[in-house]
Amino acid sequence: MKRAIVILAGGRGSRFGYDKPKQFARMNGKPMFIWSLMVPMSLNFDHIVLVFNEDWMDEAISELEMEDIHGVELIGGGRTRQLSVWNALKYLERCDVDVVLIHDANRPFATCDLYRRVVSDLSKYDSCVPIVKPRDSVYEMEDSVVLGLMKRESLGLIQTPQGFRYDLIMKCHKMAIEEGKEDFPDDSSILLHFGYPIHTTRGELTNLKITFEEDMSLAKYILQFLESKSIKF
């Protein structure tokens, strides 16, 4: 089974409060997107595609060279996350891959075990996405007013990396473009829109999505925890 991984680092990080896109924010001396590359590089993917905003491509190349990282295929992103994935899927058309994983660079702590679970399930299912159950009570709200309590048992928090059979995710992205839809929040939501079932696997509480500057404080604790437990990520 020929496998590819797409890592999305094309966002501008406007909510992060940093003078560069957040994927350049440093943790233990390395940019966030470098941490996100480390696990895929250890798992022998046939193609590792890194998607970056064209305006920051030179700096990304410089960081890769400083870390002596080779074998990463760097391409330009699109106006939205969805269009960045579309660029990567079109790039992979020439590569004859069977499955593709799609991961957000601002989730730098996805572990080897999580990647392996997603890849393993793709031998049985057309898609696989990690999910964690909410631990807190979840309310439906409108304009700061609580409308009701939602059933935690029926809710899940979706993470990345998300894995798909390549021909299926390519087909769904193409149909979305043809419908004029360009801003789906993630790739599993595109499958859901077109009525395809989505298989889930156990996600990880440490697989933090770094969105705001204050998330970096928690990220440093997670990094220390994973390193202290010798967890491969």
| Contacts of residue 162, Cβ cutoff 8 Å, sequence gap at least 6 | 101, 102, 103, 118, 127, 128, 129, 130, 186, 187, 188
Across the range 14-26, mean pLDDT stands at 76
- pLDDT computed for residue 123 by the predictor: 96
- DSSP run (H or E) holding 202: strand 200-202
At residue 14, does pLDDT exceed 80? no
Dihedral sign for Cα 8, 12, 15, 20, please.
positive
pLDDT level of residue 13 (50, 70, 90 thresholds): low
Across the range 76-94, mean pLDDT stands at 97
Domain 3-228 has CATH 3.90.550.10: yes
- pLDDT computed for residue 232 by the predictor: 76
d(CA 204, CA 207): 5
**Predicted TM-score of the model (pTM):** 0.95
Instruction: Give the residue, 228 or 173, on which the prediction is more confident.
Output: 173
pLDDT level of residue 16 (50, 70, 90 thresholds): low
pLDDT level of residue 15 (50, 70, 90 thresholds): low
